[in-house]
Structure 1
């Protein structure tokens, strides 16, 4: 198990009109300096701009490691990268990355119990937020995606609380390994079959099964660039 880490900061946001006609987003989140209530659909007061692809029970809370910020400052410098929250994350911490956290890990923080449900699938909204056409693609190809939690038990969480992994049902599957299988266009059948047996979200399991059945990798272009650029 990884050593516990501190929840450095919490961020929430309201869904507002975004950069492209008809789009909305809550990616611009504000720092929260007080305890927050966690429920099945996330943090009280937090919103999502498009519930078809963001939020919901399996994407209730997004956690992004502050450990990745030096990479982004060097590769895609931007004023937003001066503080946590730039990627629309709800939780920020240092000490855990995708190499430390495993799919289905159960985590205690404050009085809430969370479970790692999947990694982030970046989309074009990151490109528009930072002004780089390849921002989402770089996040995906670098594996620096962060991860989502589902809420097993609601409660109250405060900045400075300790995050502790209390259960690890998938000891062989750090998130970094699973993200590599999904995003590195893997067609290795044995690996895909093993990954498809993991306790994945319905969308990720479907993705793996489709890849096995068709023996081809799906296109990510629309999600990474957006309909206007596809």
Structure 2
């Protein structure tokens, strides 16, 4: 498949003074892809966005019809970039992609590192107070890549899967364990020991195993009170 490549700069979110890099636009020029993402792509809050385990965000265009059914017509669903993604393509979804999958894109080599944990800034972007919660509840979250080999990437380059290190651990299974069957100890143990998964997710699973409790996600979904 050939993904659309998208980058964005920091700007205020609609109707606010809150800065974000979530607004991404299609690029028609080659880009350098380094360990922390495309050259020129920006994030406002580096505490929770960007970094080597979130170098690129991939969101499937396959989900647009389901979102139209759920929230109605919306201009952000008419083109790639509505969810803040860097790669937009059809043909790969969370039930067909696993943590640890390795892809070639141009001269770069990518590896799926974790699912996307939606942020409250999606609420402002879409003008819906519960959009982040809807994304989390639906499982239509997209995912992140880490960069195993940096390189030049150009529009028209094919995204090709070349290896699978943990094919049983699809992103759908990971989402279900973390957000639906949240205290399934066997699944949590599997996640905690999944070496190809980003360390933050593994720590969450380990804490649940030790505490027997689920953490409060509301600040991430609704914003600071």
CA distance in 1, matches of 2:155, 2:94: 21
Compared CA separation, residues 87 and 214, structure 1 to 2 (3 A)? same
- After alignment, is 20-29 or 176-185 more displaced? 20-29
Q: Does the alignment pair 1:103 with 2:67?
A: no
In 1, the alpha carbon distance for the partners of 2:120 and 2:127 equals 10
**What CA deviation, in whole Å up to 9, does each residue of 1:202-224 have, x standing for no partner?**
21111000000000111111110
Aligned pair partner of 1:215 in 200, 212, 219: 212
CA distance in structure 2 between the aligned counterparts of 1:19 and 1:58, rounded to whole angstroms: 28
Contact 1:185–1:217 under 8 Å retained in 2: no
* Structure 2 Cα separation of the partners of residues 19 and 109 of structure 1: 33
Does 1:202 pair with 2:205? no
Query: What 5-or-longer segments of structure 1 have no aligned partner?
Result: none
2:78 aligned residue: 82
Q: Secondary structure at the match of 2:145?
A: strand
Looking at structure 2, the residues matched to 62 and 54 of structure 1 have their Cα atoms a distance apart, in angstroms, of 10
The offset of 1:50, in angstroms, is: 0.4
Where does structure 2 lack aligned partners over 5 or more consecutive residues? none
Counterpart-to-counterpart distance in 2, 1:117 and 1:94: 20
Aligned match for 1:71, one of 43, 61, 66: 66
Return the offset for 1:19.
Answer: 5.5
Are 1:227 and 2:219 matched, yes or no?
Answer: no
Normalising by the residue count of structure 2, what TM-score does the alignment of the two structures yield?
0.95
Residues of 2 paired with 1:25 and 1:211: CA distance? 31
Cα shift at 1:18: 3.3
Offset, 1:185: 4.9
Over aligned residues, Cα RMSD in angstroms? Answer: 1.4
